[in-house]
Amino acid sequence: MTWLLHSGGGVHGFRKAQEENKKIVLAGCVPQAQPRQDYLKGLSIIGVQQIDRVVEVVEETIKGHSVRLLGQKKDNGKRLGGARLDLPKIRKNPLIEIISINTGCLNACTYCKTKHARGNLASYPIDELVERAKQSFQEGVCEIWLTSEDTGAYGRDIGTDLPTLLWKLVEVIPDGAMLRLGMTNPPYILEHLEEMAKILNHPRVYAFLHIPVQSASDSVLMDMKREYCVADFKRVVDFLKEKVPGITIATDIICGFPGETDQDFQETLKLVEEYKFPSLFINQFYPRPGTPAAKAEQVPAHVKKQRTKDLSRVFHSYNPYDHKIGERQQVLVTEESFDSKFFVAHNRFYEQVLVPKNPEFMGKMVEVDIYESGKHFLKGQPVLDTKIYTPSISKPLAKGEVSGLTKEFRTRFGNHLTSTSDTCAASHCDSTYSRIVLQMSQHDCALWVAAGLALIALLFAFLARVYAYNVTK
């Protein structure tokens, strides 16, 4: 028996496997960033760029070999974006497609460990990204998320840029379907402000942008090696708020970075009070081993804790959505709320709108009247006799159904293509802990070889339930 482990959950998973004398394959960011750790000796490990070769690694591990695939993918000496975009996978939500447009970044932030694992910027070609989007819409997807370590840097390594990609993508988005752009750092968005404003005003693009500021002190930003100043951040935000009325700007702030003074922190508080960001990710600084910031003189723990509390207090002192009450909005319904009491929709500005759980609403564009607001949500009542619009051009895949398979493959292997997992195969490498137990007889191995890359998705899909099954055995 071989266990395939995702590194995001720490060491306890493979320690349990070692105690039970199982063969182990460890995948993800941890082995990529720290391949010489003692606990990795003798294990087969796969880096973030080689995940599409997991079948080969599992098969070699079953034979008793220890395999290490950590190198960067290259074509004629040029870095490639990572795992192939056309790999079959299982979406956590059949209505939402998550597409990574590039891996790595151009920065060298002193606190970041991700750079060690992801390396320098490597962008996927525009035509491959457009094809992935088109395939997703053919499978009933009505919302696309573009993700990466820094979407704004897209294309700098392959002679193109983010606006060029986005204009190509909006050409293939069906009416009513939506695109959400992921995180971008200020330096790269500055170069394309005019074009980005036009794109964010497009009816098939959410007027939403995540722009991390991290600190409102230029001296702290310099110590972080963030490659911009506070004035740059403000210029981006002010321009977009003027040119894209109502736009949602989300940002990140680190409290207690080494060297941060009380005055530095006060500047950060003033920034939040001034802009009243509707979405703010507050992080208390934690020194990542092996990073320059971890070696610097640290801010005392009690000071970091207090600053985090003070910033949270300021953030919770205002409600950004009170003025929305009474508005009539078009919202796209895509999921169920955590408490299962509502369906979750998003309006034009990617603000969360809770609507009644009417099965007819799921995957539809619905018109609602806003009657209540909270810190992180709005509540909407569907307009009487409203016309429900379906943006999906095809029937969505069933939950757990494998995306990206040909009709011929589905016919041949149909009985093997359904997963009961609710976990997304496209999640970031450090977002979840997963474990899959692979029980392989010779017949099973032959099936895996025959199925090839199409079953890679299953390796990462049976996460939650299979993990629970093995814990209880």
What percent of the chain is modeled with pLDDT above 90?
57
Question: 313-327: per-residue pLDDT in tens?
Answer: 999 999 999 999 999
Query: What's the CA gap between 136 and 166, in Å, rounded?
Result: 16
Cβ(210)–Cβ(196) below 8 Å: no
Beta bridge partners of 52: none
The CATH architecture to which 95-318 belongs is: Alpha-Beta Horseshoe (3.80)
Instruction: Provide the pLDDT for residue 418.
Output: 45
Instruction: Provide the pLDDT for residue 105.
Output: 85
More confident residue, 198 or 451: 198
Question: 215-258: per-residue pLDDT in tens?
Answer: 999 999 999 999 999 999 999 999 999 999 999 999 999 999 99
Average pLDDT over residues 3-30: 65
Question: 134-172: per-residue pLDDT in tens?
Answer: 999 999 999 999 999 899 999 999 999 999 999 999 999
Single-letter code of the amino acid located at 293: A
Question: 429-443: per-residue pLDDT in tens?
Answer: 333 333 333 333 333
**Among 49, 58, 55, which residue's Cα sits nearest to residue 25?**
58
| CATH domain 327-382 topology | OB fold (Dihydrolipoamide Acetyltransferase, E2P) (2.40.50)
**pLDDT exceeds cutoff 60 at 447:** no
Average pLDDT over residues 259-263: 98
More confident residue, 73 or 353: 353
**pLDDT exceeds cutoff 80 at 36:** no
Average pLDDT over residues 358-378: 96
Domain with CATH 3.80.30.20 in the chain: 95-318
Query: What's the CA gap between 144 and 136, in Å, rounded?
Result: 8
Cβ(405)–Cβ(454) below 8 Å: yes
Instruction: Provide the pLDDT for residue 120.
Output: 83
Burial of 41 (C-beta count, 10 Å sphere; 0-12/13-18/19+): exposed
- What's the residue count for the chain? 473
Instruction: Provide the pLDDT for residue 73.
Output: 61
Q: Which residues of 350-362 are buried (b: 16+ CB within 10 A; e: fewer)?
A: bbbbbbeeeeebb
Query: What's the CA gap between 387 and 203, in Å, rounded?
Result: 18
Instruction: Provide the pLDDT for residue 450.
Output: 37
Burial of 346 (C-beta count, 10 Å sphere; 0-12/13-18/19+): buried
Domain with CATH 2.40.50.140 in the chain: 327-382
| Lookup result for tokens 């002190």 | 217
Instruction: Name the E strands within 28-170.
Output: 44-46, 68-69, 74-75, 78-79, 89-90, 96-100, 102-103, 122-123, 143-147
